[in-house]
Structure 1
């Protein structure tokens, strides 16, 4: 009989060191219905105590009933103690299945709360106090945070407000601030996290209309960088903005403690893996810049001023899809005067100015500046004295976080978080371009061409075109990130789980309306109606490369369940067991899905929404022909002739002519006398 690790739950809950604990699942794995991070919730027990656990989304595709179900016994090999919904939780990154089919619960575990099991583990087995550290385990071993010495010799070195705030930071017994790298932060990180970072980019304060109240909201964001090169963004709204805006300055170094860590749903608006939303109880303490000149090496700041991730050269921008943010550097060859234009969508007037740069790839590209950023260039009386910028012909211009656009060829546009550096002598790439410019560039730049637009399959995101892909391709290529138009693709995938219990809603019976109604009044039609029942289904679709939640409505859901919504609704009320069988029968059965990916806004956050617009059974013979056709593209004509390969295009295949009524076909008369290829194929 497998023995569970006694006292493991208490150690895990209190951040005590423990190596590869063996625990039992005492609840069925469920999908996280509230959180958008695509994770599974389980409840693990050591026989005495139980605690909630989250299986991170990196492990989502491999999880199934063959390696994780109720009463299964797991060995945790990579994990972290964090917070979930305000409670302590164990974040599982990797595990090994010790025993899948265990038919009974071991012990009578109780729900663990901090402090309830203080005597459940023998004192001899408890870790010493200095091991109580936030960690992300790697093969069961903890990773201690960085202990940064305080740059203040006494509270007098700070204003009183900062001195009191400093005492709220997580401090070691010797008074040092305990920090961790930005790269170690996750949405499930423990609330005691603290980072030390420099502000590299500070945006202007933006205003927006709050959907909840209709009032005006304000937003400030700052990109930050730590000494290990990790980057993220801090964001503050309204009252929080009023609290922190006066102390947040570009180039300043700060301790940052507490805040809501989220994963950006749309890389177009945030290029980092995580984003921190500051709250009223967040703690920000400036680091005394004078400490960087101290003779004590430990007191000197090693955080760089900026981290650049330049694209190799301007010519490579041709391969970058639209709406992606990049870093670029080049030599200025043209500076246009600002032009006043009217934005049609908002009917407001603003200014734009374009600057053209070149590099040693012998290509050029235009960068567009907007508003005050356009008028402040080469302006002796700028709107903000600190924002005056002077650029001249032949200067090297480094641009961070500029967006790739396309209009009569590729171009670049600055945004609220863009940053520029002129004649940066500390950057090796800038020095190389300066040498190239003086050597030959200034004599030949007039012959350089611009960057052509993408006429291929992708364009902006997927370019609105329909194509076959996998989830990995759809996400990496940016399907559903173009705000101007949705993207469409088809995919072979299997439904895994349902996200919500309720699959129905009361709708207006008018086919042209179909909106949700409360009672008998349709707000959209402004009339009394007799509501009808319609489907609203959220499914997790998985293929071998990834997974995504997809929404199904009306006809597509009825096609999936092979039942009308009112009938399915009645079945749920009258025969729940039959209803569950009908619902679960569609799981783990692959189909060909046609999907629309579009940008959606939820709680002022931009994310990609996937909606099913059609589904079909898989025609395996047709799919096989398409695979074989793709394979033959890698063969030379000589190899095809030697192997006698003759294949018809997929759309000429017999079962492709009537896809809606045909049944999966089979290969006929395929002979393969050797491993060199297929011969005498007839499809």
Structure 2
């Protein structure tokens, strides 16, 4: 088995007689001029060992490709293979622009070195969407690596992969040493010191769940939302808003551990958190942080009188809001005199 390091001039650790760097190996497989001008990857220190795909030689007698870490992928190189776990798979959605229209779906993958977003368009949607399952591991080869558009992709990686007609995706039975998901969880107590619209990862015990509420979206279609209350060992709690199918399917009856990756921080009602299109909502995920939080809550956390960063929000207001019905305002002749007064009215 050949073992190598990422393409930052680090020498490959190899068997006797094999002293090439992984950078040379990759450059030999891609356009030499493009590779020489490509900038280093955006994840310093994320180098990881590379291995051969355990498939032996193909019918043509050619050697199987070297598996490289996600952190080593850079634009202009297409002759590569990565081994990664699917952590999130979005539904198929339409796209359109002045050049045409079609369909797409994207998914996110992770290996020991980092994560990256992958997008398929049109024919590649039909080819790969039925194959991929969240949580499964795959060998992915020969996609197009490009700089990501942060307007649509909130991944920490500055690059994304676009599947091509020559792309190959093959299931991998060996999922050892691959993380289930890569998260950078922030203690809930830290959220009050962060900025509005910051993208965060948060995990906590679901203490309570609001009823499912229905509303009309800007598109005119009927949609659903649900607020849940998460607490952690920092002694603080925060309201998290789930949308659509995530809100409809959520079951908080047994106080599960809930992790939300790439949620948006809001200042609505104090501090609150909202899932967005690119968020991954995981219930009782099989990760060390969730197991540890479960033990803590069962042993002592359930008795903790924690403080919420989110105010009570009846129909969108705070706990100290003075609520009046329209009939109350008319009966009490509020606003008829010289003294200015203001009240909050909830409409259904």
Normalising by structure 2, what TM-score?
Answer: 0.70
> Which residue number corresponds to residue 281 of structure 1?
166
Matches within 5 A, 1:177-196: 177-188=65-76, 190-196=77-83
Q: Following superposition, which runs of at least 4 residues in structure 1 exceed 4 angstroms of deviation?
A: 79-84, 86-89
Distance 1:406 1:208, change over 3 A: farther
Counterpart for residue 162 of structure 1: none
1:238 aligned residue (115, 119, 122): 122
Q: Please report how far the alpha carbon of residue 262 of structure 1 lies from its aligned counterpart in structure 2 after TM superposition.
A: 1.5
Match of 1:218 in 2: 103
CA contact (8 A) 2:83 2:138 kept: yes
> How large is the Cα RMSD of the aligned pairs?
3.4
Distance in 1 of aligned mates of 2:30 and 2:190: 42
C-alpha contact 1:145 1:180 (8 A) present in aligned 2: yes
The answer (yes or no) to whether the contact 1:335–1:356 under 8 Å persists in 2 is: yes
Shift of 1:83: 5.7
Structure 1, unaligned runs of 5 or more? 1-16, 20-78, 95-142, 155-165, 293-299, 378-389, 453-683
Q: CA deviation at 1:371?
A: 1.4
| Cα pair 2:92 2:103 within 8 Å, conserved | yes
* Equivalent residues of 1:363, 1:451 under 8 A apart: no
Q: Deviation per CA, 1:456-479, whole angstroms, max 9, x where unpaired?
A: xxxxxxxxxxxxxxxxxxxxxxxx
Secondary structure at the counterpart of residue 298 of structure 2: helix
Larger radius of gyration: 1
Superposition pairs of residues 610-649 of structure 1, within 5 angstroms:
none
Query: Equivalents in 2 of 1:364, 1:239: separation in Å?
Result: 45
* Map of 1:161 onto structure 2: none
Q: In structure 1, what is the equivalent of residue 176 of structure 2? A: 301
Deviations 1:491-540 (A, max 9, x none): xxxxxxxxxxxxxxxxxxxxxxxxxxxxxxxxxxxxxxxxxxxxxxxxxx
| Structure-2 residue corresponding to 1:370 | 243
Which of 411, 420, 432 matches 2:272? 411
Aligned residue pairs total 283
1: CA distance, partners of 2:216 / 2:238: 24
8 Å CA contact 2:48, 2:113 repeated in 1: no
Distance 2:163 2:210 in 1: 39
Structure 2: unaligned runs, 5 residues or longer: 1-18, 41-46, 312-348
* Residues 1:371 and 1:225: Cα distance change in structure 2 (over 3 Å): same
Q: Contact between 2:71 and 2:114, CA under 8 Å: does it hold in 1?
A: yes
Asked whether the equivalents of residues 199 and 222 of structure 1 are also in contact (C-alpha less than 8 Å), the reply is: yes
TM-score, structure 1 normalization: 0.38
Q: Note the C-alpha offset of 1:304.
A: 2.5
Residues 1:450 and 2:309 aligned together: yes
Q: Aligned residue for 1:437?
A: 297
1:201 aligns with 2:105: no
Deviations 1:599-631 (A, max 9, x none): xxxxxxxxxxxxxxxxxxxxxxxxxxxxxxxxx
C-alpha contact 2:29 2:79 (8 A) present in aligned 1? no
